[in-house]
Amino acid sequence: MQEIEEPMDTPSQDPRAAARRAWPRYEAAELGFRHYWYPVLAARQLKQKPVSLVVCGEKIVLVRDRGAVRALKDRCPHRGVPLSAGRREFPGTLSCLYHGWTFDLASGELIQALTDGPDSPVCGNPEVCVKTYPVIQKANLIWIYIGDGPPPPAETDIPETLLADDAVVEAVVERRKGNWRYAMENACDEAHAKYLHRYTPYYFFFRFPGWQTDARVAPSEDGKWLNRSSKPVFEKVHYPGLGSWPRGEFWRWLRRKPIKGSSRLPGVFAVDHHTWHDFQFFVPVDKEHHLTLQVSMTRAKGLKKALWKIRYWLFIRTLHHWLLNSREDGFIVENMDAPPEWLFRPDISIVGWRRWCEQKARRSPSDGEPISQANLHSGGAVADVVSS
Ligand code: FES
Ligand SMILES: [Fe+2]
C-alpha cells in the first residue's frame, strides 16, 4: 500500500497552495491539457448546421460539409460575431450573419465579403484568416485536436477498442457544471461507488462490497493507462462504537465478476464490464464546466448487435448513464468545493492520477520539449509515476 504523504491544508491557509506545490502542472490545467485529440460530439449530432462549442477555453464552430467535418474558430475577424450564427450560402463555405464575410471551411480564408462587392480588397489578406482546427470523425464520434503545431495521428488518443471493425458505439454527450478535474477524479475515485451508488437501480440486486483493502494504481503494460485495483470486502464487519455494516441487504442475490477501472490522459476513464466497455471522456470547457461523453461499446454483429442495442437503450443508457453517472455522480461533481481536502487511504487512486498527469501529460513545444513519440505515450519511467 502506498502511503499518501501529500500536504494537507486547513481552511485558514490558501486552499490551493498545497496543490500547487504537490502537482503544479495538474493544478495549472484548469482548462485541460493541450496537444491531445478530444471527442466533442456524437457523429449524428453534427449535420450541415453549424454547431458552437467551447473546448479547453477555445470557442469553436463545427460543421459538416459534403462528407467532411470542419472546425474553425468561432469568431468573425471583422467585428467579432460568432460564425456559428452564420449561413451556409455556398458549398464549402460559411458566411458570417452580420455582413456576409464568407470563409472557406477547409482553410479559413476569407473568400468574399458579400456586402462589399466581388472586388472587395479585404479578401486575400492572410491576416483576416480564421483559425482552423484538425478535426476527424472516428468511432462514431467527432474529435478535435487542441494544441500547437502538427497533431499526432488521432488514433494515438483514441482507445484501440473503439476502433475495432465490429465496434458498436453509442454515446451520450452532456455539458455539466464543475471543472473537468472534479469529474475525472470522481471517476477514478476508488471508494465512492461503494457508498454513493449503493442503492442505484442498475446494481440494486447485485452483491455489493462495503469497502476495500489494498487499493493500488499501476500503469498498463503499454503505458497508456493507469489501472486501479483493490480487494473488495463483501462481508459485514463491526465498526467500533457503531455496530455492523453493511446491514441486511438480503435482496442482493446476483453476483458479478469484478470490474476494472483505468484512467488515461487527457481525461478518460474506462470500465471493462466484460460484455461491454464504458468510456467516460471528460472534456474541459471553461474553468467551471466540462463536457462528459459517456461512450458505451461492444463488439458484435447481426443479432448479437441488435440485442446489445436493446440492452443499451433499455438499461445502460437509462439506469447507468442517466441515473448513476449523470444524476448521482453529476450531483457530486457539481457541488464539490475542494481544496482544501483531507485524503484517506482509497484516495491513492486520485493521488496516482494527479501524479500521472504531472509527469506524463504532453508538453508544449514552447516548454522546450517538442511533442515527440517519446512523450505521446509510455516511454520514460512510467513505473516511477506511481511509486515516487
Ligand atoms: S462581423 Fe462578420 S461580417 Fe461583419
Ligand atoms: Fe460514480
Beta bridge partners of 104: 93
Report DSSP letters for 107-148, one per residue: T--EEEEGGG-TT-TTTT-GGGPPPB--EEEETTEEEEEESS
Peptide bond into 134 cis (omega under 30): no
Beta bridge partners of 237: 245
The identity of residue 126, as a single letter, is P
Ligand 1 proximal residues by C-beta, below 6 Å: 76, 78-79, 81, 96, 98-99, 101
**What local confidence, expressed as pLDDT, does residue 216 receive?**
94
Closest CA to 158 of 147, 149, 174, 169: 169
Distance between Cα 80 and ligand 1 center (Å): 7
Beta bridge partners of 175: 291
In this model, does residue 290 exceed pLDDT 60? yes
CB contact at 8 A, 110 and 100: no
Q: In the 8-state DSSP scheme, what is residue 290?
A: E
Distance between Cα 316 and ligand 2 center (Å): 14
Q: Per-residue confidence at 218, pLDDT binned at 50, 70, 90? A: very high
**What local confidence, expressed as pLDDT, does residue 258 receive?**
83
Residue with CA closest to ligand 1 atom 3 = 99
Distance between Cα 144 and ligand 1 center (Å): 25
Query: How many residues in the chain?
Result: 388
The minimum-distance atom of ligand 1 relative to the CA of 101 is 3
pTM for the whole structure: 0.90
Higher pLDDT, 61 or 3: 61
pLDDT digits (tens, 9 = 90+) for 39-67: 999 999 999 999 999 999 999 999 999 99
pLDDT digits (tens, 9 = 90+) for 338-386: 989 999 999 999 999 999 999 999 987 666 554 444 344 332 333 333 4
Question: Looking at 32-36, 58-62, 226-230, 376-380, which range is the least confident one?
Answer: 376-380
Distance between Cα 97 and ligand 1 center (Å): 7
Beta bridge partners of 269: 263, 280
